[in-house]
Structure 1
């Protein structure tokens, strides 16, 4: 009884150990395909070079958007162990190309499933997006460039508006300055003691007051000039000499 349990335990352990050495990978996870175009379903199988793992079957199927499962293709694989590679792990590719897609209803997730005698491994799947022939794959570079340009233009306009507003608030306009100056001039009080007017006939001597009326009536003549003190005009001296000579003759 104990020996039988030991054998069962070793068998289960070998299954678990061997199952940890096999794997199925599918990359990339998303693909875009046009109608009338074939789609390659990736499938990479990892297994050790051991007799029970060198023989397996590969199944391909897809699940559409409503959850319906459809088998596509299956094949059996038997690997010959190369000399000197026993117990070593290897990875083999078993990609499969589907028939040309007929409509957009072929959109869905395509899987690769590998079955050994006692182990089943399924890949993570590849989502295939079937598009019409008019579909053009968009490039995000132009969208990013347009977004940045729009953002910079908006920032520039906002900065200019703020500068103009600040200048209007800090610096008053020309009309406002004129109004302020005019208000200051109007509100300024007149001087208390106005300066006396300068007399027009400052050049006249005190002895020539009787000539003032003559000068006032005759405005065409130039103003008189004061004679330096201590000097007698030449014409007056000539008249005095003539009177003296006349007096002596008499």
Structure 2
């Protein structure tokens, strides 16, 4: 048998909070043939650790209309998403008597909680610590610069002493001519 397709017409990635409803569709296309009229549809998911869940049957029945000697059926899947461990790739599968087809999958990211603003007190504490750190650093750098400047001035100037003796005659003591 050929011409059977199982696809997902929607977004390839969905995001949901735990215990919230999220759905996706499976589109099943198959040729008009009495052999292909009887099938079952189900879905399963593979979590982030590669573990496959038990399969869950989807209640779908074949459509009664035919287009170009083929049938197209859309089935809505609403998986149970109790917590973040439900994150994974969800696959639709159609089983005919002799074979089955599996879709490419829809990835569903499940979050236990949504965004929460940080506690106001922690923001205030962080800001105060940062301001205090900057204050201490600026005082230390200023003290270091002053210390280096004073130390440099003492190192370059000759020591002055009231008992300095001039070699020969001092300029102030020379007899004038």
TM-score range, shorter chain: 0.5 to 0.7
Is 1:126 the equivalent of 2:109? no
Give 3-state SS (helix, strand or coil) of 2:39's partner.
Answer: strand
**Alignment of structure 1 residues 1-250 onto 2, 5 Å:** 15=1, 19=2, 21-26=3-8, 27-75=10-58, 79=62, 81-82=64-65, 85=66, 88-99=69-80, 101-135=81-115
Gaps of at least 5 residues in structure 1 are 1-14, 137-250
Give 3-state SS (helix, strand or coil) of 2:35's partner.
Answer: helix
Kindly name which structure, 1 or 2, has the bigger radius of gyration based on alpha carbons: 1
Runs of 4+ in 1 over 6 A off after TM superposition: none
CA RMSD of aligned residues (A): 2.3
The Cα shift of 1:80 comes to 6.6
TM-score (structure 2 length as normaliser): 0.57
- C-alpha change, 1:41 and 1:72, in structure 2 (3 Å) is farther
TM-score (structure 1 length as normaliser): 0.42
More strand by proportion, 1 or 2?
A: 2
Gaps of at least 5 residues in structure 2 are 117-177
The Cα shift of 1:95 comes to 1.4
Q: How many residues align?
A: 115
Distance 1:76 1:127 in 2: 21
The Cα shift of 1:77 comes to 5.2
Indicate if the aligned counterparts of 2:63 and 2:71 stay in contact, CA closer than 8 A: no
More helix by proportion, 1 or 2?
A: 1
